[in-house]
Amino acid sequence: MQSIRLIFLCLAVFTLINCGGSSGESSSSSSSGGGGSSSSSSSGGPGGSSVEKLSMEEYNALPDNQKYIVMNKLMATLYKGVALKDFFDLSGGISNLVVRDGADTIGTIEASMNEPLTNKETYYDLVDEKYNFDTTSYWAGYKTQQYPSAVLFELPLSKDYFEFWVAYRLANTILFSPAVELESVDYVDIQRVMYRLTMMMEEGKSIHEIVYEHMISQENWRRFRSPEDNTREMMEIFLARFNDEEVPKAAIACKNWYLTDGGQDYQLVIDFNENTEPQDILDTTVTTCYDFYQAVSTHASLLPRIVSVLVDVFFTDYSDAEKSRFVTDIVATNPTTFQEIFKTIILSREYLLNNDRAKKYEEAFFNVAHRINWFANRNYFRNLNRRPERTSFETLGDMKQEALAYKLGRSAEVPVDSLSFAFYHKSARERVLIDLKRDEFNQNDGGWQADFIDVSLDGDDFVQYLFLSVLSRTASTDELTTLNNIIVNRGYDGNTLTDKQRQARIVLDYLSRLSELYFFRAVS
């Protein structure tokens, strides 16, 4: 991860040197950490839980600036964001920020995650009305890959949103990926997987029930096509069980299950030649394929394995020993639903205060977009989720973070090769931070809106407002001096709306080049 930070530090230095200054990122007292957990991680105390929940008492005891960091860490994880002026009263200037009465806290966010929407259909209708998706001819199925991003952007934080978000996170892991990159998978399978996960969570179904229903589905068989391949992968993926001697026995149990070829559209067929000879596998005896899937879904190794996969996603840069302790402590809470596992992780003291890792694209993009009152044009989510060869727009595929696509799910780590991260940076810079919406009535014109900079702040305070809005930190002295020099030299130092728009674009362009934008950092 250090190499990524170095790339962006160099970009920032290059930007400021070309403008007559030097970068202040490394000198800032609140700059991003060094990638990975700090020495204080896993600090549950002797015999305590390493994923103990951050209490409201602890949150309230934090300095106000750290409360804002913690709030946006949680919200970015949930693909949402808290705008600076919604959290702080700005009337006293940046040096005298006061948390607004009634501002959200981690407690109100958690409460929102448990509160059902009364008008959910209205938001789904809005998504269909507001955005364009690929729905015609050969590309018709692509909507199923493009649609979830728009739903996550528009749906307000709620129980319904949280369950959809959990489904999306799960469907991007090795556990439930629809694997649309495979020839045998149809784009409609994305919708089926997402719908099943979301609806079963809404109905209060257990982890075991959801895993079982997924394993017996056609979508699962389209990813792993033969009895040998499917049963092996189910034991490895859901149980981390690598026992070659069990595979032939499991294949016998599933001998009457198979997938047709492409000429018959890869349909799951279960014929009448059901196995009748008991097979000793999975620490039990199974006879039929249904028996096999029940044995997997109720096995003692299922919960530790699922928790391990999710710990890898959210605590990516921690040591194996630390991750192992997280898994042990989460399993000890005896979660019965996926929602409980996710809440335990993202509401923990360790995650909110100590975690330091690269953000997935959605974690960076959605968070900043909500913090700067950014408007998505009609084609944004279609372009973001298109095949790279079909658009000049930077896609998640370009970033090697394609949604719901890979056979084994997204990598837990953000791809760090130069090309992938270049697309990530270009999208964050050009599509979000320096993109100003100029026509409020044009649905095809996206970008941040004038309301974002409609604040009674100017000069240094205005620059600091932009820094805090995007990075949750103030600018260093060097950064302020250099950016102000650029603003003055270009004649943009007035207080008109146009001047402030130009000032904002200069500062936001600089912020797009800092590694802090692309990393969660520990709170200190």
Nearest alpha-carbon partner for 422 in 8, 109, 37: 8
pLDDT of residue 34: 36
**Model confidence pLDDT, tens digit, residues 68-108:** 999 999 999 999 999 999 999 999 999 999 999 999 999 99
pLDDT of residue 387: 77
pLDDT of residue 329: 98
- Please tell me the least confidently modeled range out of 35-39, 103-107, 149-153: 35-39
Helix, strand counts (H, E) of the chain: 24, 8
pLDDT at 25 over 90: no
430 alpha carbon, distance to own chain's centre: 20
Is 272 exposed, middle or buried, given 0-12, 13-18 or 19+ CB atoms closer than 10 A?
A: exposed
CB 244 within 8 A of CB 281: no
CB crowding 300-336: b at 16 or more within 10 Å, else e? ebbbbbbbbbbbbbbbbbbeeebbbbbbebbbeeebe
CB 100 within 8 A of CB 140: no
497 alpha carbon, distance to own chain's centre: 34
63 alpha carbon, distance to own chain's centre: 27
SS3 519: strand
**Alpha-carbon gap, residue 94 to 463, rounded angstroms:** 10
CA distances from 274 to 230, 239, 279 (A): 17, 25, 13
Tell me, what amino acid is at 459? G
pLDDT of residue 135: 85
Return the structure tokens found at 323: 């991750």
CB 135 within 8 A of CB 145: no
Nearest alpha-carbon partner for 348 in 42, 67, 79: 42
**Model confidence pLDDT, tens digit, residues 162-186:** 999 999 999 999 999 999 999 999 9
pLDDT of residue 21: 36
SS3 504: helix
pLDDT at 37 over 90: no
Q: How many CA atoms lie within 13 A of 480 on its CB side?
A: 16
pLDDT of residue 6: 45
CB 452 within 8 A of CB 503: no
pLDDT at 358 over 60: yes
Average confidence (pLDDT) over 475-504: 97
Reported confidence tier of residue 414, pLDDT bands at 50, 70, 90: very high
Reported confidence tier of residue 10, pLDDT bands at 50, 70, 90: very low
**Model confidence pLDDT, tens digit, residues 431-477:** 999 999 999 899 999 999 999 999 999 999 999 999 999 999 999 99
Whether this prediction's pTM lies above 0.85 is answered by yes
**Alpha-carbon gap, residue 476 to 509, rounded angstroms:** 16
Position with higher pLDDT, 117 vs 27: 117
**Model confidence pLDDT, tens digit, residues 266-312:** 999 999 999 999 999 999 999 999 999 999 999 999 999 999 999 99
For the residues of 243-306, what is the DSSP string, one character each? -TTHHHHHHHHTTTEEE--GGGTS-EEE-S----S-EEETTEEE-SHHHHHHHHHT-TTHHHHH
Reported confidence tier of residue 405, pLDDT bands at 50, 70, 90: very high
241 alpha carbon, distance to own chain's centre: 28
Return the structure tokens found at 90: 């700005």
Reported confidence tier of residue 354, pLDDT bands at 50, 70, 90: very high
